[in-house]
Homo-oligomer: A and B are copies of this chain.
Amino acid sequence: MSFNTFGRLFRFTSWGESHGPAIGCTVDGVPPRIALSEADIQVFLDERRPGQSKYTTQRREPDAVKILSGVFEGQTTGTPIQLMIENVDQRSKDYGDIAQSYRPGHADFTYDAKYGIRDYRGGGRSSARETAARVAAGAVARKILGDDVKIRAGMVQMGPHGINRDNLDWNEVRNNPLFCPDTAAARTWATELEKIRKAGSSVGAVIEVVADGVPAGWGAPVYGKLDADLATALMSINAAKGVEIGEGMGAAALTGEENADQMRPGAGGKPEFLSNKAGGILGGISTGQQIVARFSVKPTSSILTPRQSINSDGEAVDVVTKGRHDPCVGIRAVPIAEAMMAIVLADHMMLHRAQCG
């Protein structure tokens, strides 16, 4: 995996900046003769698209994807698929005042420290806009996985407030603007988020992503672990600060007795598990249970409250960000999480087929 390439066999290379002419990705290694159209991809991009509710940035981007290669007469050909999304609503002037100043908690400073240059317009390469490429690649990955593997995500915590697990219903996620699987929580959170938005503040979140229908045996030991690949996939998402599989950080508090997912003989020769503390992965290999992952995202650093900082000359400044931003980036992280899960699974499906036939 290179700086801008993700995956082993199913792999995509992403490119583009927030305020350049376009962004996109090249998806390589796709099996041939899979039906694929721009509409198949657009449906997922529309979910991630900004400006769909007052809870997301008001930048207006159609995010219309174009397939430039790798598809012929509606089918994949096995050659690289170039997916391009033109940038339309760039207001670079919004960002002119932070061209020389570093937003605390943002990549402004580190890009300059590393490269000695940065495209400051809209965050350039560090913008969450790059995640559109992930969602596009994820749509292709889903096609490879087929209908047997079902991937769903939702926001399960906003700020300090978690959902009520008894209310969890994945089918509710697209029925509320917070992409939350708990309808009651979504209602309460909406009121709170509106206050945060109006205050020019922001708040973090936890997103959970699950995959059903993954057979036992995907993944690999040691440095090809399915959970280690999910960890890097999710941690690479903008603003992510923590990743959990199954019980996650909470596994530390368990005893061996509590943690052991007991098994009984099940239907069709498959074991029936009595619990899923493992989140569907043991020794880096899928158990056949639901794959369960979570990750936290920090609140966006683009806020109205002035923060102490420095500029590129090393002088003290106060920074206020007036650009259009998400009060809770966790909302739009939901389709991204699904995409990354799909990408990791498609890669491991192909790796498993290669080695084990």
* Nearest B-chain residue to A315, judged by Cβ: B265
A52-87 interface with B by 8 A CB criterion: 66, 68-70, 72, 75-82
- Beyond A68-B22, A355-B78, is A228–B222 a contact (Cβ under 8 Å)? no
Q: Is A46 an interface residue (CB 8 A)?
A: no
Interface size on A, residues (CB 8 A): 156
Q: Is A244 an interface residue (CB 8 A)?
A: yes
* Nearest B-chain residue to A206, judged by Cβ: B252
Q: Is A283 an interface residue (CB 8 A)?
A: yes
Q: Is A231 an interface residue (CB 8 A)?
A: yes
Asked if B109 and A271 make an inter-chain contact with CB atoms under 8 angstroms apart, the answer reads yes
Stretch at the interface among A116-124, A145-153, A165-173, A176-184: A116-124
Asked if B241 and A248 make an inter-chain contact with CB atoms under 8 angstroms apart, the answer reads yes
**Chain B residues with CB under 8 A of A257:** 201, 303, 305, 307
Asked if A220 and B308 make an inter-chain contact with CB atoms under 8 angstroms apart, the answer reads no
A298-327 interface with B by 8 A CB criterion: 298-303, 305, 307-310, 314-316
Of the residues B117, B254, B258, B294, contact of A72 by C-beta under 8 Å: B117
**Chain B residues with CB under 8 A of A188:** none
What is the bound-complex CA distance between A288 and B146, given in angstroms? 31
Asked if B354 and A350 make an inter-chain contact with CB atoms under 8 angstroms apart, the answer reads yes
Of the residues B125, B330, B351, contact of A79 by C-beta under 8 Å: B125
25 contacts between A and B (CB under 8 A): A1-B224, A4-B26, A5-B223, A9-B354, A16-B69, A20-B69, A31-B356, A105-B256, A106-B282, A110-B284, A114-B216, A125-B221, A159-B252, A196-B255, A204-B259, A205-B252, A227-B240, A227-B241, A231-B234, A242-B248, A249-B249, A256-B303, A259-B299, A262-B308, A265-B316
